[in-house]
Amino acid sequence: MRNSENKIIDMTPKVICHIMSSVDGRLLPGRWTAPFDGTNPSELFKEYAAIGKSLGADAWMFGKATTREAFPYKFMPKGEPVGESGKVFMGNRTSSRLFIIIDPDADIFFTADQLRGDNILVILGINATTDYLSALEEKGISYLVVDDTGNLRNVFTLVKHYFKVEAISLQGGGIIDGAMLAQGLINELSLVIYPGIDGLSTAPSIFEYLGNSEEHPADGQALELISIEQKPHGIVWLRYKFHNLPE
């Protein structure tokens, strides 16, 4: 969209990539070494959660693999695909924040309308079946059907328009982080460094863009350090602002 001066106006919400990683940038907490002071790691995750709430986002999201940890069962569709985009359902909205999940396969079996106390919004493609949409409606789960779930700029423009979301806390995993990075949608990185190490070269990391070796998903972007803050138990919190470099 352009204004009267012919300048491009970004209609997407602000996206803050808020991640806790080991010092080597890995994302599987069960593999990290224990804190030096003997504190239970759960206390460090509480610190991470508190930092996240301080960011002031009115929505947050995981990638599908992480969401599967909360809702592991698959929906087995029997209906026909809806075949067209534009269908929007406003479900229950009793929480101050939304949890957003993009589900290209339209097969997460939700057993509740909330995750961690926040109402759910599901982004679906035109392959979503009529019975799946009915199941979401019965549970009071909001959904939005789009032409292409991979076109994230369009997805979040619609999320902002229909659901009035102004800021999203993107909390991984690495695949959704990488996709958002490649499409230039991240405005800020909030990196909480856990005082431990993974060390395995194949463990997932903060950004896991699924491309080939000729692609450079961070091209044209640069990071400006906003702040460094030491937190309890050896945690360090780094904040960076994303900038688009002139072409």
Contact between 57 and 97 (Cβ < 8 Å): yes
Structure tokens at 22: 């080991």
Does residue 3 surpass a pLDDT of 80?
no
Residue ranges in 124-237 assigned as alpha helix (H): 130-139, 152-163, 174-182
pLDDT at 2: 37
DSSP code at position 220: T
- State which amino acid sits at residue 125: G
Contact between 120 and 142 (Cβ < 8 Å): yes
Please state whether the peptide bond connecting residue 173 to the residue before it is cis, i.e. omega within 30 degrees of 0: yes
C-alpha radius of gyration, the chain, whole number: 19
pTM for this prediction: 0.91
Structure tokens at 62: 């995981």
pLDDT at 10: 62
When pLDDT is averaged across residues 102-106 and rounded to a whole number, the result is 97
Residue ranges in 40-129 assigned as alpha helix (H): 41-54, 64-68
Better pLDDT: 24 or 6:
24
When pLDDT is averaged across residues 117-129 and rounded to a whole number, the result is 97
Nearest one of 57, 35, 36 to 46, comparing CA atoms: 35
| Residue with token string 């979040």 | 156
